[in-house]
Amino acid sequence: MNVTVEVVGEETDEYDLPDDATYADLIRAAGYHPQEASALVDGSPVPGDRVVDADEVQLLRLIKGGATDSVPSDGSA
C-alpha cells in the first residue's frame, strides 16, 4: 500500500507499507517514535494500533527539539 505522509510544517514523502501495517508502523517508517508523533486522517487523530486505511496521512510531531540551545554556555539561566 502506498501512503502519502505530510509531516505538518515539514516535508511530504511517500511510503510503501505492507497491507497489515498500523499507524504506529507508519510513524516509525517516517523516522519517528509513536510517542513523539500522532497520525491524523482528515484532521482527526487515529490510534496507533489501527491498520492504515488512508492514502493520505498527516503526522503531527508532539515533541521537537530540546532545551540545549536555550541554556547559556556559561551555565547561567
Determine the structural domain holding residue 22 and report its residue range: 2-64
Task: Determine if residue 65 is left, alpha or beta; phi over 0 gives left, psi from -120 to 50 gives alpha, anything else beta.
Answer: left
| Total count of domains within the chain | 1
Is residue 71 situated within a structural domain? no
Per-residue pLDDT tens over the stretch 50-73: 999 999 999 999 876 665 555 555
For residue 53, what pLDDT is reported? 96
CATH number at 16 reads 3.10.20.30
Q: Quick check: 4 and 14 in contact, CB under 8 A?
A: yes
Per-residue pLDDT tens over the stretch 11-55: 999 999 999 999 999 999 999 999 999 999 999 999 999 999 999
- Retrieve residue 32's grid coordinates: 519517528
For residue 20, what pLDDT is reported? 97
Residue 1 has pLDDT above 70, yes or no: yes
Is residue 26 situated within a structural domain? yes
31 SS3 class: coil
Is residue 69 situated within a structural domain? no
